[in-house]
A and B are shown apart, each in its own frame.
Chain A
Amino acid sequence: MTEKFEPKIVAFFCNWCTYTAADLAGVSRLKYAPNVRVIRVMCSGRVDPQFVLEAFARGADGVLLGGCHPGDCHYAEGNYKTLRRMRMLERMLKDMGIYDGRFRLEWISGAEGDKVRTVINDMTEKVRKLGPLDLPGKFKEWDKEIEELEAQVSKSAAKEETVHAR
């Protein structure tokens, strides 16, 4: 691979705080890394852990989740639910070999355009150092391994059958 690795990061931003903060960063013309693709949700609490898993499975090198600060949720307490869910998800991700900040949860208020910049730049830099996650590639490898195993098993089974037949 001659091309420099550019991480692909999928972000889920809540409409009221973090998405607004990203808009503010734009209006303030703050410059940051172009590696993040934002998906808007009304509340960080809408983010089903499956969304995060799906993003990794589809080839994301990192997933960023942004919500309102604790106590500031537009929907009173959605971000607390997010926090609980994501802490559990983090454990699961670790078992799957996804850790070291590939998944990140950040509280960014509507006034913190600058924090959007710092978080995105910092995360992009860290994920770049980690290198590609490439779960789709790994899935293919694992599928291949399983296929090979299956082939081997059926081969030896066939052999055994012939032995029995004798």
Chain B
Amino acid sequence: MTENKPKQENLPRVGFYICHCGTNIAGVIDPAEVQKYAAGLPGVAVSRDYKYMCSDPGQEMIAEDIRKHKLERLVVAACSPLLHEETFRKAAAKGGLNPFYFQMVNIREHASWVHTDKKAATEKAKDLVRAAITRVRYHQALDKKRVPVDPNVLVVGGGIAGIHAALTLANAGKKVTLVEREATIGGHMALFDKTFPTLDCAACILTPKMSAVKAHPNITLWTYSEVEKVEGYVGNYKVMVKRKPRYVIEDLCVGCMECIDACVFKEPKFHDKFNQGLGKRKPVYIDFPQATPKVVLVDPETCIQLKTGKCKKTCADVCDRKAFDFEQKAEMKEIQVGAIVLATGFKAHDAKRDPQYGYGKYPGVYTALEIERLVNASGPTSGEVVLRDGRHPKEVGIVHCVGSRDAKTNKWCSRVCCMYSLKLAHLIKEHSGAEVYNFYIDMRAPGKAYEEFYDKLLSEGVHFIRGRVAEVNDWAMTPEEEGRLIVRVEDTLAGFVRRIPVDMLVLSTGLEPQADAQEVRRRFNIGCGTEGFFQERHPKLAPVNTFTDGIYIAGACQAPRDIPDTVAQAGAAAAEALALIDAGFVELEPNTSHVIEEECCGCKSCLPLCPYSAITFEEVKKKAVINEVLCKGCGVCAAACPSGSIRQNLFEDDEIFSEIQGVLAK
């Protein structure tokens, strides 16, 4: 430690601390050298280096120094302010100093971790430290603003993640609005027959939760609805939800489904999206018997009444509750919430992007989701594994990593495909007795009882061939191959190329971000990673938080994940939302802008710049006025004010100019 008297009497007394962060910083930057350098800078009263500044003793040291040495400013050189700024502000407050008399210097993420030249990194650290010490003199004492938090929550997405988050919050007594864009909740899980590795029936564990959502007095369930607009800030969001017309009054329909029988179309003949196109449905339909809410809907694309207005409307006639309303229009609803949980899920990879596997070209090639419906007891074939031409497959191939771990499509591992491929192999064998071949790159089974499930499959006589499938075609070379699909693959364990004829080929498609993930994240003002999944605030320590406070993410919208992890994450997101709500208020960063009235010349330059309409013009005084509640602290107005009369707290002109001067003064 170096202690000295400030050379210039009028400068505030600065305490400077540099963290070793073990060897994270000290391995590249010489903390002792920086400490000694800082000690020689004007105004510095105390300068110390310490192994872990963020530890309790580190913080205690700061608090004690503030009291003992009558420090008036605090500078800590350590990691990113996004990580520990709050920690050191608290340490300052503990010592009796206003927490905003503090400036943090990022010498870990921005220096020691990214540079190898020790001398240059140490010089950079000195420059940054000098800038902060120069800047901190201009800091002002500020107070955090407290605003109340609306206790209601919005959950977007009614898959297993959204269902679990909504139920958790509702059980805690919070009013939840669950918005789902499809006609029923359940998401992808509702498509599955069994779940790995326990092979328990998906419907048996999911549908009770779906019913619980519908029945819960604290949950408002809006299916067939989408969030159109989000305004406001943490604790106080205003959300516009569009409720699409079902042409059936939800409160009147009891789900007897008599209208479906009565439809003028005697046979179902339209593409059934829920059954992945393997089945057919009528214009009036319900996705599956346990759909929640159990309410039919009418498809405007295929309904004769909605298309031409000239139908006998036998469906409406048979409905004794008079639930049909062909005049129904989309409805906009506005709700106020304090927190939002986004659980918008994933999209399965489009297998047509890999033409070598022949999906869409050969009818014997299926995607995994299609097979999920095919093996499902409530699916279009009632669980019978049958090809599109009616034959029963004798040999089935399952191609792993379609749209995963592939530089041409998606680089990431989709995490669930190995396991669901094993599950499908088991189910296909069980339902049809066919020989099943798995073509895999690596077998990834890292989860509770997952590896054991793989062992079980090995003992069941399922074939495993390690190698990425090169091509699938129908070019028979022998009479036995006639009319079958030929899988060409290099067996990397045996060391030669094989041709394996199969009747059915299953493509284990990977998980991708939803097609409109970018639009959705813009609507909610959160970020996406390069692959397009929603970005968490911190990959390890804040996995369900986002960079926008009060908005949380759960499930496969953040990254590919299986059901247990999704449920765990949904619970975590609900807990974070509860923590926010139950505190009752949030403290907002006081980085808002304000106008120095005497200096404002009334030019109105700032007025059109504010994206939040926080600036108004006081006509009597001819001055601009900033509403600090609406201001979000971007500082665009402060940068534009020609008279310099707009000040942004924490980022005042004096503060930034002194930082520029400090960083370059040498």
Contacts and interface: CB of A to CB of B under 8 A. Distances in A.
A139 to B, nearest CB: 14
B664 A58 contact: yes
Contact of A46 (B117, B120, B124, B635): B635
A111 interface: yes
Nearest to B125: A34
A117 B110 CA distance: 11
Contact of A34 (B117, B525, B656): B117
Nearest to A116: B114
Contacts of B530: 111-112
B81 interface: yes
Interface residues of B, number: 51
B128 A32 contact: no
Contact of A27 (B109, B116, B651): B109
A25 B349 CA distance: 29
B113 interface: yes
Contacts of A40: 81
B520 to A, nearest CB: 13
A20 B611 contact: no
A74 B547 contact: yes
Interface string B629-666: 00011111011100000001001010011011101110
B421 interface: no
A51 B664 CA distance: 13
Contacts of A117: 114
B535 A59 contact: no
Interface stretch (A76-84, A97-105, A147-155, A158-166): A76-84
B80 interface: yes
Interface in A5-44: 6, 8, 10, 15-17, 19-20, 22-23, 25-27, 29-32, 34, 37-43
Given A20-B547, A29-B114, A59 B664 contact: yes
B529 A111 contact: yes
Nearest to A63: B660
Contact of B108 (A26, A75, A109): A26
A137 interface: no
Most buried by B among A22, A23, A81: A23
A46 B639 contact: yes
A27 B636 contact: no
A95 interface: no
A17 B636 CA distance: 16
A64 interface: no
B143 to A, nearest CB: 18
A41 B635 contact: yes
B72 interface: no
B168 interface: no
B127 A37 contact: yes
Interface string B104-130: 001011110111110011011001100
Given A45-B639, A48-B639, A58-B664, A34 B535 contact: no
A39 B656 contact: yes
Interface of B: 80-82, 106, 108-111, 113-117, 120-121, 123-124, 127-128, 131, 522, 525, 527-530, 535, 547-548, 591, 609, 611, 632-636, 638-640, 648, 651, 653, 656-657, 659-661, 663-665
Interface of A: 6, 8, 10, 15-17, 19-20, 22-23, 25-27, 29-32, 34, 37-43, 45-48, 51, 54-55, 58-60, 71-72, 74-78, 81, 85, 109-112, 117
Given A58-B661, A71-B522, A74-B525, 14 more contacts: A8-B664, A16-B547, A25-B114, A30-B114, A38-B110, A43-B635, A43-B636, A45-B634, A48-B653, A51-B660, A81-B609, A81-B640, A111-B528, A111-B529
